[in-house]
Each structure stands twice: as structure tokens, then as C-alpha cells.
Amino acid sequence: MIKIAIIIGSTRPFRNAETVARWVYQIASRRNDAMVELVDLNDFNLPLLDEPTPAAMGQYTRPHTRAWAAKIASFDAYIFVTPEYNHAPSAALKNAIDYLYREWNNKAAGFVSYGADGGRLAVEHLRLIMGELQVADVQTQVSLSFSHDFKNYSVLTPRSHQETSINAMLDQLIAWGNALKALHSEYVDTARN
């Protein structure tokens, strides 16, 4: 089975991202075709990118970068749970992504976004970033609207079709993650030698 990280893409106090990610986790963990794990950016305390060399070189000097790299490398696919701030993902999520390069390569990604208009523009930004990192992003995404999927902008009350959307996204993500596993496993084997 492939391993999927559900990445909580906000570090903001009183964030909705954690609640949304836990909801995604509950749905995904009922499946028997993948293992899922919550990955919280808050647990890694990543400062604004502080590595002296570009991530593509893989020469990490900071303990927090090494810990983040080891965690991300251990997965075959990712679900990014992202808010939309000013038509983009959070700065904390972009920063965390930029810390690494090869750890992301040849894997698959899906997206769950939320915001006033469902966070769609944040996902459009992330799709461009994923392309540069050689990550195959799946078409189906889940967009949660503050107007329709939250009560008072803070209590998650997803409409009934949203669980169907999560499972459709997972179907695609698991298929792509399995298809790409040989490619990124080959890289890991080469890097170890």
C-alpha cells in the first residue's frame, strides 16, 4: 500500500486547516488501499527558508530541514490541505514546500482547499509549484466554501457531496501514487548507493 501524507498547510492560531485535515483523515483512513498520516507544519518549526544552498542540491545543513526531508521522503503521495490567503496558499505552506526538492519528485498530490470561494486559486498556485517539483497532481480537488461548508466561518459542516469528492480525489491519488512508486523508489535506491 502507498503512504499518503495529509499536510496541514497552515500554522495560524485558530486555523481551520487542522479541523479540515482531521476530517479528510477520518474519511481516508476508512479505506484499505492506502495508509494515511497527518503531517502538521507546526511540528517542524520551519523558519523562513534558511538553507544556504538550493534545495535541488540536497545539501541540508539545518536539523529542522533534515527532519522535514526525512518525513516528506517517507511518503508516496500527498494531500495538501490549504487555506486561501489573498488568492494563494499560505506562506507557511509555500515555505515548507520550498525547503525540499528531490523528496517531492515523482510522487502524486491532491488538494483540499477552503476559503471564501472554496480556495480554488490557492490550489491553482500549488498546481504550478507541483509541476516544477515533478509532482503529478490529480484533477479532482475538494473546495470547501466558508458560505456553505462552515458555520460562522469556523465550524466545519461539509455538505454531503464533499465526502464523495474526497473519495474521488483519493481514487485518483492512489492510482497515480501507485503508478509513480517505481520512479521515486528508483531514486531512493540510487541515492542510497
pLDDT at 183: 86
Single pTM value for the model: 0.94
Q: H helices within 31-160, ranges in order?
A: 63-73, 91-98, 120-132, 146-149
Q: Which domain holds residue 15?
A: 2-192
Can you give the CATH number for the domain in which 78 is found? 3.40.50.360
Q: C-alpha grid cell for residue 6?
A: 495529509
Domain count, the chain: 1
Burial class (CB in 10 A: 0-12, 13-18, 19+), 20: buried
Tens digit of pLDDT per residue, the chain (193 long)? 999 999 999 999 999 999 999 999 999 999 999 999 999 999 999 999 999 999 999 999 999 999 999 999 999 999 999 999 999 999 999 999 999 999 999 999 999 999 999 999 999 999 999 999 999 999 999 999 999 999 998 899 999 999 999 999 999 999 999 999 988 776 554 444 3
Beta bridge partners of 47: none
With the CA atoms of 161, 166, 167 and 171 taken in that order, what torsion angle do they form, in degrees rounded to the nearest 10? 140
CA–CA gap between residue 129 and residue 12 (Å, rounded): 22
CA–CA gap between residue 79 and residue 154 (Å, rounded): 21
